[in-house]
A and B are shown apart, each in its own frame.
Chain A
């Protein structure tokens, strides 16, 4: 009798323990709401203008990586690529917000350096993308090897040109690292070739109309001009429109940079012979991926080349090039 009563008492104890266990479990279950700590990464692009396909595609790459690596990203940037002051302002705001990592596409080679240094001093990993900075602040620089891209343009131009060629280069914003490197790559190839005479570099400031005017006056004033190199999309399209307007297609060879529907049309029309296309999606993706690796304390490469592709009229509709030339921007319901 006594034994059974003791057993019942123990069973009561066990039941109480089980109930408490369930309570503890539920408590832990309830607590998990606040436990998900995703790293915050701020991505500072050069332009958030909806028409700018390059930055749109780069942002797609950022979002894709954000999903894969489970980070919270905040993509900000000035309206226009030339608005360095606004980017500086955004940089200061970012510093105040103290995200876990910063990805920066610098609008200016020098002016953003002090802010980049401050981010670095705050212990926040900084990754630069597309355009370099005149500083060691960044852990990694992810961009097209612009010298290599430039020399690809140079080689294509050399391939398309005849015996004696006079070449003009239309660049965009003076002082931007990427334009300097592209020009360097182009010149390195063409200047080594005795067939070429390279004129001075003209600056469109990234404005298509200005590039159009420059090209138009070049074609008009230099009848012996046999080729134009456009170092970015507006410069190239502006030059292409000028060639089309002046009926100079065939006389003036155009090799450009980047892609857009306008450039595709120029290629299809035969006004433009080739364009070197970058991989902004990969840039955005790799920038976030590298930022995450840096956050995890892994050693990241100081320089990642995302590569470039030469597209001509014949290979526009190749599977791989379609994605680069006709990005899905705006189709993801953003």
Chain B
């Protein structure tokens, strides 16, 4: 069983919607994750850039400070005088240096070294020089001398010239020149505590793991939190790339680590570089993913719920329609499908209802037409005078004429004439019971003359019913049957008794004979409807037709009933509605009394 092969519209729609909603949710999730990742990365980039700029600005401000200090010192005449050996140190220079340094904790020392006579003055009176290390050998000294008055900023280094100190400093050095600027007198050294820069740089937080390092123009590392690892080649930085960009950002891939470098050029020839880990830029990546996953799971449930509801809503009217169609299939056309709110299904239901209505109409029409046709056929059949009867009657008249029984000839001929006339009855199907009784009287008169002692008849019709209507030629076939099948075969005289009375809303007409009668089987077959629309030949054909005609005209509750017992006789009862001629005419004109009962 393939569980993905849905058979019903509902499950199809449900699955399709679930998949659609889930896909949309996943798609949106991925897109929004990407978008927010990009946004976060951009923010991080800007933020890092700002931080690095800030670091640069801070370092720059310290260096500017040192430069200002150096300018102060350079413009101080006693310093020049002392270094050029024009004056001795009376402590006022140290005092001046100390004044400058007041409230400047970042400055480690201010000192001046003369080219001649090893002259040295510092902010501290008691400062001693390291006997084993010579200031003239130090890079800051040599570079300042070579720079001829321009400032030189050293990388962080240990300052060994002071005895027993070994402080980490950044040195600003500058040659002190003679007043006429023709020759150098010595070197001014301003030492900045390196801890100041170290603090600025190490306290910068670039995510959890990011850091800031500094390189100089030559690409050697000025500061790096993992400087020792770099010396030991345990770590490398993309220094070539850093040097190739002035200021800006680039991404570097090293040993599977994506790092973002933010470079900021500094005026003192350093490059401040902020390094952030790319995977950390989106710090809450895990949480974001978790959220999107939760969203996805939720969407799935929502999708299933929504699609089940939606598909049920969609397929419910279809199911309903189907149920009604099944009813129609069974033959029940008397139904009406409730019209759904949905446009399409509603239209379908309306059309279906219309169709069922039309089928019902058509079927009614067909039934009516069939009945009309049958009625016409039966009428035509009924109107015929049996040729045998005519022949026999005329034969009887001839016999009577030959025997010169003119009275009887007149009687029989006039009865025959009235019989014909009654059967014409101006083409009307409904006649009064009086007319019908007259008709049957004429018929019986003729038959009695033919059969003489063999046949006798009695009429006992309630005069109250004579004005009501009945179908014409109702009784004649019954009487004919009674004669030919009941009395003709009987030994002795047979009596036919015709009676009529009102019975509730109906009229009952009885044709009773005391002929041979019938057994139960024959009786049962007698009024059974003819199959296949054919007419049964022989016995009872006339009766069946009468029965059918009454039912067609008046409805199924009317018609014939037969009671019979062998050797005793048969009684046929005609039941018809109690109708006056006017009512009957109205109904016949409307041609619709069958509809009322269907």
Taking a contact as CB atoms closer than 8 A, the residue among A28, A261, A320, A324 that contacts B166 in the complex is A261
Taking a contact as CB atoms closer than 8 A, the residue among A6, A31, A270, A320 that contacts B132 in the complex is A270
Taking a contact as CB atoms closer than 8 A, the residue among B160, B194, B291, B295 that contacts A317 in the complex is B160
Taking a contact as CB atoms closer than 8 A, the residue among A3, A306, A326 that contacts B168 in the complex is A326
Q: Is A285 an interface residue (CB 8 A)?
A: yes
Of A64-72, A114-122, A294-302, which binds chain B? A64-72
| Mask of A29-65 contacts with B, CB within 8 angstroms, 1/0 | 1011001000000000000000000000000010010
Of B65-73, B227-235, B532-540, B590-598, which binds chain A? B227-235
CB-CB < 8 A to A20: which residues of B?
Answer: 298, 302
- Whole-angstrom distance between the alpha carbons of A323 and B229 in the complex? 11
- Whole-angstrom distance between the alpha carbons of A10 and B341 in the complex? 15
Q: Is A27 an interface residue (CB 8 A)?
A: yes
CB-CB < 8 A to A28: which residues of B?
Answer: 287, 290-291, 294
Taking a contact as CB atoms closer than 8 A, the residue among B287, B295, B341 that contacts A32 in the complex is B287
Contact indicator B294/A27 (Cβ below 8 Å): yes
Contact indicator B287/A322 (Cβ below 8 Å): no
Taking a contact as CB atoms closer than 8 A, the residue among A31, A269, A317 that contacts B157 in the complex is A317
Restricting to B262-306, which residues have a CB under 8 Å from any CB of A? 284, 286-287, 290-291, 294-295, 298-299, 302, 306
Restricting to B555-597, which residues have a CB under 8 Å from any CB of A? none
| Mask of B185-222 contacts with A, CB within 8 angstroms, 1/0 | 00000000011001100100000110100000000100
Contact indicator B286/A32 (Cβ below 8 Å): yes
Q: Is B525 an interface residue (CB 8 A)?
A: no
Tell me the smallest distance from the CB of B562 to a CB of chain A, in Å: 61
With contacts A32-B284, A279-B232, A332-B202 known, is A13 near B306, CB below 8 A? yes
Tell me the smallest distance from the CB of A177 to a CB of chain B, in Å: 23
Which 6 pairs show the lowest CB-CB distances between chains A and B?
A2-B341, A268-B132, A32-B287, A28-B291, A281-B228, A320-B231
Q: Is B158 an interface residue (CB 8 A)?
A: yes
CB-CB < 8 A to A10: which residues of B?
Answer: 310
A-B CB contact pairs (8 Å), 16 listed: A2-B346, A6-B341, A6-B342, A10-B310, A21-B298, A24-B298, A25-B291, A27-B294, A28-B294, A35-B290, A61-B228, A67-B209, A261-B166, A268-B130, A282-B228, A331-B195
- Whole-angstrom distance between the alpha carbons of A313 and B155 in the complex? 21
For the residues of A in contact with B, the DSSP-based class is helix
Q: Is B225 an interface residue (CB 8 A)?
A: yes
Contact indicator B208/A70 (Cβ below 8 Å): yes
Taking a contact as CB atoms closer than 8 A, the residue among B130, B157, B306 that contacts A322 in the complex is B157
Q: Is A251 an interface residue (CB 8 A)?
A: no
Q: Is B164 an interface residue (CB 8 A)?
A: yes
CB-CB < 8 A to A261: which residues of B?
Answer: 164, 166
| Mask of B51-77 contacts with A, CB within 8 angstroms, 1/0 | 000000000000000000000000000
Q: Is A73 an interface residue (CB 8 A)?
A: no
CB-CB < 8 A to A322: which residues of B?
Answer: 157-158
With contacts A3-B342, A20-B298 known, is A323 near B227, CB below 8 A? yes
Which chain B residue has the least Cβ–Cβ distance from A265? Answer: B164
CB-CB < 8 A to B195: which residues of A?
Answer: 331
Contact indicator B220/A35 (Cβ below 8 Å): no
| Mask of B135-176 contacts with A, CB within 8 angstroms, 1/0 | 000000000000000000001011010001010100000000
Tell me the smallest distance from the CB of B317 to a CB of chain A, in Å: 12
Which chain B residue has the least Cβ–Cβ distance from A70? Answer: B208
- Whole-angstrom distance between the alpha carbons of A261 and B226 in the complex? 22
| Interface size class of chain B, counting residues whose CB lies under 8 Å from the partner chain | 35 or more
Which chain B residue has the least Cβ–Cβ distance from A307? Answer: B232
- Whole-angstrom distance between the alpha carbons of A36 and B211 in the complex? 21
Tell me the smallest distance from the CB of A8 to a CB of chain B, in Å: 12
- Whole-angstrom distance between the alpha carbons of A64 and B202 in the complex? 11
CB-CB < 8 A to A264: which residues of B?
Answer: 166
Contact indicator B130/A3 (Cβ below 8 Å): no
Contact indicator B341/A326 (Cβ below 8 Å): no
Restricting to B233-257, which residues have a CB under 8 Å from any CB of A? 234
Residues of chain A whose beta carbon lies under 8 Å from any beta carbon of chain B: 2-3, 5-6, 10, 13, 17, 20-21, 24-25, 27-29, 31-32, 35, 61, 64, 67-70, 261, 264-265, 268-270, 279, 281-282, 285-286, 306-307, 316-317, 319-320, 322-326, 328, 331-333
Contact indicator A5/B341 (Cβ below 8 Å): yes
With contacts A24-B295, A332-B198, A333-B199 known, is A282 near B342, CB below 8 A? no
Contact indicator A29/B287 (Cβ below 8 Å): yes
- Whole-angstrom distance between the alpha carbons of A325 and B166 in the complex? 10
Tell me the smallest distance from the CB of A244 to a CB of chain B, in Å: 12
CB-CB < 8 A to A279: which residues of B?
Answer: 228, 232
Taking a contact as CB atoms closer than 8 A, the residue among B194, B299, B342 that contacts A21 in the complex is B299
With contacts A2-B343, A64-B226, A331-B168 known, is A21 near B295, CB below 8 A? yes
Which chain B residue has the least Cβ–Cβ distance from A36? Answer: B286
CB-CB < 8 A to B343: which residues of A?
Answer: 2-3
- Whole-angstrom distance between the alpha carbons of A317 and B195 in the complex? 19
Tell me the smallest distance from the CB of B302 to a CB of chain A, in Å: 5
Q: Is B9 an interface residue (CB 8 A)?
A: no
Q: Is B133 an interface residue (CB 8 A)?
A: yes
- Whole-angstrom distance between the alpha carbons of A28 and B284 in the complex? 11
Contact indicator A326/B158 (Cβ below 8 Å): yes
Contact indicator A268/B231 (Cβ below 8 Å): no
CB-CB < 8 A to A269: which residues of B?
Answer: 132
With contacts A261-B166, A326-B158, A331-B198 known, is A70 near B299, CB below 8 A? no
Contact indicator A29/B291 (Cβ below 8 Å): yes
Contact indicator A328/B208 (Cβ below 8 Å): no
With contacts A282-B234, A323-B231 known, is A68 near B209, CB below 8 A? yes
Tell me the smallest distance from the CB of B510 to a CB of chain A, in Å: 65
Contact indicator A306/B158 (Cβ below 8 Å): no
Which chain A residue has the least Cβ–Cβ distance from B194? Answer: A331
Contact indicator A317/B158 (Cβ below 8 Å): yes
Contact indicator A32/B231 (Cβ below 8 Å): no
- Whole-angstrom distance between the alpha carbons of A290 and B195 in the complex? 30
Tell me the smallest distance from the CB of A299 to a CB of chain B, in Å: 17
CB-CB < 8 A to A281: which residues of B?
Answer: 228-229
- Whole-angstrom distance between the alpha carbons of A282 and B227 in the complex? 10
Contact indicator B291/A285 (Cβ below 8 Å): no
Which chain B residue has the least Cβ–Cβ distance from A313? Answer: B132
CB-CB < 8 A to B231: which residues of A?
Answer: 320, 323
Interface hub of A64, A269, A322, A325 (most chain B Cβ within 10 A): A322
A10-B310, A13-B306, A28-B294 given; 7 more Cβ-contact pairs under 8 Å: A28-B287, A64-B226, A261-B164, A264-B166, A285-B229, A324-B228, A326-B166
Tell me the smallest distance from the CB of B537 to a CB of chain A, in Å: 64
CB-CB < 8 A to A6: which residues of B?
Answer: 341-342
- Whole-angstrom distance between the alpha carbons of A13 and B309 in the complex? 11
- Whole-angstrom distance between the alpha carbons of A261 and B155 in the complex? 21
CB-CB < 8 A to A307: which residues of B?
Answer: 232
CB-CB < 8 A to B291: which residues of A?
Answer: 24-25, 28-29
Which chain B residue has the least Cβ–Cβ distance from A67? Answer: B209
Contact indicator A24/B294 (Cβ below 8 Å): yes
